[in-house]
Chain A
Amino acid sequence: MAAENVFFYAIAAVMVAGAVAVVTSRNVVRAALALIVVFAGVAAQFILLGAEFLAITQVLVYIGAIMVLMLFGIMLTRARIGRDTDMTNEHWWVGALTALLLAGVMGYALVDYFGKDKLPHERALTAVDAAGRASNTATVSDTIFSQFLIPFEVVSVLLLAALVGAIVIARKDRG
């Protein structure tokens, strides 16, 4: 088995274990820490897929920003930091059934359609510039600021709206 595959399966096993811990742990903080492991694994998979820029963004935004927000949420809602027996509701089997059905359908469809197809060796998310350097970051930024400029601006407005909205919703002296 090639080195890439060894890395993939090692990271994937850790990720799946982390994801299961996120949805089954009785301790909220432990679930949050397991989620960090999953995010880090996703970043590693992005590198395997040849998208370094996205991997760094994943670390900065998810592990750096979103997880801090989550931990603040846990703190501010004073969910008991210790063991909490009642984190899963009595209809958990509906969720398990739905998830298993979904997994079955998606797994069948994927195996049926893609079989043993391989990824191309040149996982070219990179373009080679005039000086002969290949850079994933340059390619992504070139694409954003040419082809996807308007969506990019819309996303900035969305982030601003979310920021203002979050402040308006959460502030105490609501007039």
Chain B
Amino acid sequence: MSDLMVNQFLLLGAILFCTGVYGVIARKNTVLVLMSIELILNAVNINLLTFAALHADVAGAVFALFIIAVAAAEVGVGLAMVLIIYRNRSSVDLDDVDSMRG
């Protein structure tokens, strides 16, 4: 057994995840919300690799790799959407995107 505890990695992941959740809910700027989503994805990756190390199973690392690929795709499409919102409304404030409000 090494000196590293399972929990210190998992709790670090939990803290990053909660920070990201706060950012997604509380931030107004769309780009900042995308950044908070990246925080959440990174927290998940830390958790996956911790369990991969705990069970000595490389599948966790492969899944983390897939998450990185999906995150790259998500940022690309997300920023394209931010750009088109900005072009149509000259603002990236989420509060201004309220045309779906009943």
Interfacial residues, chain A to chain B (CB-CB below 8 A): 1-2, 4-5, 8-9, 12, 15-16, 19-20, 22-23, 28, 31-32, 35, 38-39, 42, 45-46, 48-51, 53-54, 57-58, 61-62, 65-66, 69-70, 72-74, 76-79, 84, 86-89, 91-92, 94-96, 98-100, 102-103, 106-107, 110-111, 114-125, 127, 136, 139-140, 143-144, 147-148, 151-152, 155, 158-159, 161-163, 165-167, 169-170
Contact = CB atoms under 8 A, between A and B. Distances in A.
Contact of A57 (B18, B65, B79): B65
Contact of B22 (A23, A107, A114, A162): A23
B54 to A, nearest CB: 6
A124 B57 CA distance: 8
Given A12-B12, A96-B26, A161-B73, 19 more contacts: A2-B2, A5-B8, A8-B4, A22-B39, A23-B36, A58-B68, A62-B68, A77-B31, A89-B28, A91-B25, A92-B25, A99-B18, A114-B10, A117-B6, A118-B5, A122-B56, A123-B2, A140-B61, A143-B59
A91 B28 CA distance: 10
Interface string B73-85: 1111101111110
A100 B4 CA distance: 26
Contacts of B97: none
Contact of A159 (B20, B31, B72): B72
Which 4 residue pairs spanning A and B have beta carbons closest together? A95-B25, A162-B73, A23-B23, A95-B26
27 contacts: A19-B19, A19-B20, A28-B29, A35-B38, A38-B42, A42-B42, A53-B61, A70-B34, A77-B82, A79-B31, A91-B25, A92-B25, A106-B17, A114-B5, A114-B10, A121-B1, A122-B56, A143-B58, A143-B61, A148-B62, A155-B69, A155-B70, A159-B69, A162-B73, A165-B77, A166-B77, A170-B80
Contact of A119 (B20, B35, B53, B61): B53
